[in-house]
Amino acid sequence: MNLRDFIRDIPDFPQKGIMFRDLTPLMGNADALEFAVNELAKQFRTDRIDKIVGVEARGFIIGAALAYAMHVGFVPARKPGKLPYKSVRKEYELEYGVSILEMHEDAIKPGERVLIVDDLLATGGTVSATADLVQSLGGDIVAYAFLVTLKDLGGASKLSGGRVVSLLDL
């Protein structure tokens, strides 16, 4: 299956000069979503993964489905003020601003092996911040998984602690 057929390009969103890659058509197609999740799960069959951390918001969709497929726990990395329990936080830069992510302080136990998942890797700022949160809680990053990587933006170079897996490079 060619996943590129299910990705819509939206110019100048969220601001002028940004080409937004909309993966909602892929997620809205049962066959494409099933294919994508199964293809990602295949990449980690031999790894021991304890938790999948999904990055808000589209990473929740892919991450939770992948956690189900791999029979492991799921942890959300959320925007500030969304989690009801004691949390750790990380401020980071986006390609068009600054943001913050939070995780519950007990979401990852020391030594747990973690797969960080998002729909798309661009500059790597959001995923790198998520990795910092995981590591601050004592988690070991096994890998990062994405449906799409925007190669020209170099985000993979900002990620450490595990291999980077992507189903599609644009």
Once rounded to an integer, what is the mean pLDDT over residues 85-96? 88
105-164 confidence digits (pLDDT tens): 999 999 999 999 999 999 899 999 999 999 999 999 999 999 999 999 999 999 988 999
E strands, the chain, are 8-11, 19-22, 51-55, 73-77, 87-94, 97-104, 113-121, 140-149, 163-169
CATH 3.40.50.300 fits 47-169, yes or no: no
Active site amino acids: 58, 95
27-72 confidence digits (pLDDT tens): 999 999 999 999 999 999 999 999 999 999 999 999 999 999 999 9
H and E: helices and strands count for the chain: 4, 9
Distance of CA 87 to the CA centre of its chain: 19
> Mean pLDDT across the chain, nearest whole number?
96
CB atoms within 10 A of CB 128: 18
Domain definitions of the chain by residue range: 47-169
Predicted TM-score of the model (pTM): 0.95
pLDDT at 103 over 90: yes
Termini Cα distance of the chain: 16
Give 94's pLDDT tier (boundaries 50, 70, 90): confident
